[in-house]
Chains A and B, each alone.
Chain A
């Protein structure tokens, strides 16, 4: 960068500071509509909206602006179009209620649409009756904080996603609540982003959905009663920490699906009452450490081509089936977990059971091979064969053993 351009930049910055103004928008003010206010404001200005209902079908924001709504400020899309289209860097939208975006099967109408914009921030908004909630494309370094997106979808084709990011980098998504949409939060080609403390519940498909996204982290989120909790697919280096997966219950449901995941971390999560807590398909080098699996149908279901995964210091409590496995053990390791139905003993009192524990029950092995056999669940016969298999294992995979089961839960 040469001197001239630096001076120019400084000048631009000063002028920016000098002329940044704040305008009020209300029904009886000079600026009474969203469109007029946005057209009137100069780059860097702030628009403060007084409470009221403002029609805003397809308002385009093409310069850096800050829009702040006082409590009770409603932007109505009138079911026609996007409500706000953000096409510039440095835009802040805060405190609005956004209603009624258009609905379409050919265009992705959203309440807030962000395209090729850097450093956006979407804060404290509430979105209802919209097709997509917040749709972000090719935009980086933004933050989406403390928003609520509520839909009423009952079928997958009725709704878009609550928060949808496509081809973005370094976006911070925190403290949002999404319910009743297709996917709560959907990330596709999104790198280096964090999701913190979001609550995604009662969505038709997934609470959170990753596709082709790398180096992301989600932490302390809660996923409850979604079609399926979280699906992480075709992604690398994803960290999943301290999340709660509750009640993702249904015949094709699960808490966490890992499909083609490499080098991930699943730490300190809690899986409570999911049909399948973790469904692992073709994933390698993933560490599962210190998670709690309680009262799930299956705690872990592993299918096909998984290598070098390690499960340790997890608590398995009262799951109908501990682990279901339909391929070779490969070099996956189960070691030092706590199993509530472990019936071994600990003579030297070092907290580690002296008898290895076999997490795959015979019936779970059979049900995996012939799914129809599951109708015999909870019959006396099944209890008998499970017991006899436990006493002397013949059918269940030989190597799938926890050699040092813990006597006490870790958490």
Chain B
């Protein structure tokens, strides 16, 4: 598995798109900090970008890479290697190279602007961790979609739809149901609903760490009481981990049965 991971990783690291992705974050980080020296404000803006962008890039990159390297995968399948090893290796290759772009691209500008001297380091780390989790989750989901659909166009469509669902449609459904059932107590519903979507989960996790959490009022206080504790933090990180593992398991099981 390590070998295949190495192949995928070095293949991706040499690809133009990884560099473009890295350069994008570098530019974003530097421009943000140049325009506004306040690290905490920059973290808020970055949160908006990361929560939307990392899942999207993860999805598109994952599915593109998987379809493009199909011939290589078929070649590997002919070798005496376990199927799960091949797919997990590729999966890790994509996710880790994307995460590396994210961490380096944002880490360098923030380090240059004195991250260690500010109190924002914990928030920044949380931001990076949730960004990394989102990358892993959405790459895994998109590979699953690719495994289930050998038709590229269909697979691509489903992947985009999946991203759209988690990033936009899900929130719309939540909002709608909140408005319909507004006569009922909704705090716990809100808590559970935001738990089930990794994008919402990471958004709220970062939001609560930042100043604007006071805006969330009573509901925010409830969230704060839950997420603010180390138990809440570990539960939500555990849930993110579950979100990585579930599609991972699905991927391994599907790949072992799939006809190529």
Footprint of B on A, CB under 8 Å?
A: 249-253, 275, 297-298, 320, 366, 369-382, 384
Residue of A nearest to B44 (CB): A378
With contact pairs A249-B211, A375-B194, A375-B223 given, residues A370 and B216 touching in the complex (Cβ less than 8 Å):
no
Nearest CB on A from B14, distance (A): 32
Q: What residues on A are CB-neighbors of B83 within 8 Å? A: none
| 8 tightest Cβ-Cβ pairs between the two chains A and B | A381-B171, A297-B215, A372-B186, A370-B182, A372-B190, A372-B219, A381-B168, A370-B178
Q: B171: which of A250, A252, A275, A382 is its contact (CB, 8 Å)?
A: A382
Asked if B52 is at the interface of the complex by the 8 Å CB criterion, the answer is: yes
Q: Roughly how many angstroms separate A371 CA and B220 CA in the complex, as a whole number?
A: 10
If A375-B194, A376-B174, A379-B203 touch, whether A370 touches B214 (CB-CB below 8 Å) is no
Report if B47 contacts A (CB, 8 A): yes
Q: What are the residues of chain B within 8 A of A366 when measuring CB–CB? A: 175, 179
Contact B218 A378 (CB under 8 A): no
B7 to chain A, nearest CB (A): 35
User: Is B88 on the interface with A (CB-CB < 8 A)?
Assistant: no
Give the distance to chain A from B42, nearest Cβ to Cβ, in Å. Answer: 15
CB pair A375–B182 under 8 Å, yes or no, is no
Of all chain A residues, which has the CB nearest B215? A297
Contacts of A384 in B (CB 8 A): 168
Known A-B contacts: A251-B218, A374-B219, A381-B172. Give 6 more (CB < 8 A): A249-B214, A251-B221, A372-B186, A372-B187, A375-B216, A375-B223
Interface of B: prevailing SS? helix
Taking a contact as CB atoms under 8 Å apart, the answer to whether B212 and A297 are in contact is yes
Are the CB atoms of B215 and A377 closer together than 8 Å? yes
* B218 and A371 contacting across the interface, CB-CB below 8 Å: yes
Whose C-beta in chain B lies nearest to the C-beta of A252? B217
Chain B's nearest CB lies how many Å from the CB of A275?
Answer: 5
Q: List 24 A-B contacts (CB under 8 A).
A: A251-B216, A275-B214, A275-B215, A297-B212, A297-B214, A320-B215, A369-B179, A369-B182, A370-B178, A372-B186, A372-B189, A374-B217, A374-B219, A375-B200, A375-B204, A375-B220, A376-B171, A376-B174, A378-B207, A379-B51, A379-B199, A380-B51, A380-B168, A381-B171
> A-facing mask of B176-196, CB < 8 A → 1, else 0?
001100100011011000100
For residue A383, which residue of chain B has the nearest CB?
B48
Is there contact, CB below 8 Å, between A372 and B171?
Answer: no
B127 at interface by CB-CB < 8 Å: no
The residue on B at minimum CB distance from A249 is B214
**Chain A CB within 8 A of B167 CB:** yes
Taking a contact as CB atoms under 8 Å apart, the answer to whether A372 and B211 are in contact is no
> Given the complex, which residues of A lie within 8 Å of B215, measured CB to CB?
275, 297-298, 320, 374, 377
Q: What are the interface flags for B114-154 relative to A under an 8 Å C-beta threshold, 1 for contact and 0 otherwise?
A: 00000000000000000000000000000000000000000
For the complex, give the distance between the alpha carbons of A251 and B203 in Å: 19
A378 to B171, CA, bound (A): 11
A228 to chain B, nearest CB (A): 12
A297–B187 Cα gap in the complex (Å)? Answer: 21
A370–B215 CA distance with the chains assembled, in angstroms = 14
Shortest CB distance B146–A (Å): 24
Known: A378-B47, A378-B203. A371 touches B174 (CB 8 A): no
CB–CB B168/A374 < 8 A = no
**Assuming the A-B contacts A251-B217, A320-B212, A374-B217, are A379 and B178 also in contact, with contact meaning beta carbons closer than 8 angstroms in the complex?**
no
| Contact indicator B216/A377 (Cβ below 8 Å) | yes
Inter-chain contact B52/A375, CB cutoff 8 Å: no
| Distance in angstroms between the alpha carbons of A275 and B168 in the assembled complex | 27
Residues from chain A with a CB closer than 8 A to the CB of B221 are 251
How far does the Cβ of B171 sit from chain A's closest Cβ, in whole Å?
4
| B221 CB, nearest partner CB in chain A, Å | 5
Specify which chain B residues have a CB less than 8 angstroms from the CB of A252 in the assembled complex: 217
CB-CB contacts of B160-178 with A at 8 A, as 1s and 0s? 0000000111011011001
A379 touches B171 (CB 8 A): yes
Given A250-B214, A251-B218, A379-B200, the answer on whether A370 and B167 have CB atoms closer than 8 Å is: no
User: Considering the chains assembled together, what is the distance between the CA atoms of A247 and B189 in angstroms?
Assistant: 32
Residues of B within 8 Å of A250, CB to CB, are: 214
Chain A residue numbers with a CB within 8 Å of B213 are 251
Q: How far is the CA of A373 from the CA of B178 in the complex (A)?
A: 7
In the bound assembly, the distance between CA atoms of A252 and B224 in angstroms comes to 14
**Please, which residues of chain B bring their CB within 8 A of the CB of A253?**
214
**When chains A and B are docked, how far (Å) is the Cα of A257 from the Cα of B220?**
21
Q: Which of B52, B171, B214, B219 contacts A371 (CB 8 A)?
A: B219
- Which of B187, B199, B207, B211 is in CB contact (< 8 Å) with A377? B207
How far apart sit A190 and B167, CA to CA, in the bound complex (Å)? 55
Determine how close the nearest CB of chain B comes to the CB of A188; give it in whole angstroms: 29
Taking CB atoms, residues of chain A closer than 8 Å to B178 are 370, 372-373
Q: Please indicate the chain B residues that have their CB under 8 angstroms from the CB of A370 in the complex.
A: 178-179, 182, 186
The residue on B at minimum CB distance from A296 is B215
What separation, in Å, do the CA atoms of A251 and B225 have in the docked complex? 13
In Å, the complex CA distance between A252 and B175 comes to 23
Most buried by B among A250, A366, A372: A372
Q: A370 CA to B186 CA in the complex, in Å?
A: 9
List the B side residues contacting A381 at CB < 8 Å.
167-169, 171-172, 175
Closest CB of chain B to A347's CB: distance in Å? Answer: 30
Query: What residue of chain A has the Cβ atom nearest to residue B168's Cβ?
Result: A381
A235 CA / B171 CA spacing, docked (Å):
44
Which chain B residue has the least Cβ–Cβ distance from A373? B178
Would B182 and A374 count as touching, CB distance under 8 A?
no
Q: Which residues of B contact A369 (CB under 8 A)?
A: 179, 182
Q: Quick check: B218 and A376 within 8 Å, CB to CB?
A: no
